[in-house]
Amino acid sequence: MARTVRGARVLITGAASGMGLLYAERAVREGAKAVVLWDRDEAGLTRLTDRLRGEVLAGRTVTAWGAPAGSPSSATGSRNAGTSIHPYVVDLRELGGIAQAAQSVRKELDGVDVLVNNAGIVRGKFFWEHDNGDDTRATMQVNALAPMYTTREFLPGMISSPREARIVNIASAAGTLANPRMSVYAASKSAVINWSDSLRLELEQQGYGHVKVTTVAPSYIDTGMFEGARGPLLTPILTPEYVVDRVWRAMLAGKPVLLLPWSVGLAKTLKGVLPTRAWDALAGRLFGVYSSMDEFTGR
């Protein structure tokens, strides 16, 4: 799996829009054996499935990075197909729904080789404006618990298989820094970062090095999810295409951590070495981190 996912079984959560859609396209273009799409948006999932089976599979004219020219593909999902598409309507807030969908995937495909925990939601408001049920609980369920639940469903199969396997956990730069109007979101992404990298260490420590975990912490991405947010100094709003390309390459290479852009790593380092008030002044007045969500509207 050093260069492509050709022949692999790939599962993507939050696949119906944004970066999830781009990950799905990438997997198909590289000739994955199966692409499993999880999303709660049934209409969006149907549109993506139809397009992948039709335009991308049957009418592909562009060979993606690393993909062998003319790699097999099919729009039908028939016995001779190079890639089959498997959509599932899944509400990631529900543990039972995750378990049921995972059981169906295992029955149909006997597991997955690549898991991209991409789905996420954000509530851009002060903590005291969050509703405990609709906001706080939902954010923690989708952003923090769902990746853990989903990974737990497929990890035993990855461990027992001799095949190379990859787990990608999409966190956020917000998980490395405190930020006004992002308290619960930041908490959920901080949880993902520490769980994900701990999982990586556990797998390495126990001799399961063929299962590699990549933790991704990007700053704001232009998907509509953070509409109205402003990029801090030295931290431009990232394009989804750029992020997906970098994540994909990091995943294939088994890179442990990916921070995007480079200034995220700088901010993390400065926060770690400076006194709290000094960092607050730097982040608030110079970099503009603490005001970056002032005009947030979201989708």
Annotated catalytic residues are 185
Residue 156's CB: how many other CB atoms inside 10 A?
11
Other beta carbons within 10 Å of 32: 27
d(CA 202, CA 4): 26
Q: Is the dihedral of CA 283, 285, 290, 295 positive or negative?
A: negative
Residue 256: count other Cβ atoms within 10 Å of its Cβ.
15
Q: 176: which residues sit within 8 A by CB, 6+ positions away?
A: 190, 193, 217, 259, 264, 267, 268, 271
Paired with 168 in beta bridges are 116, 214
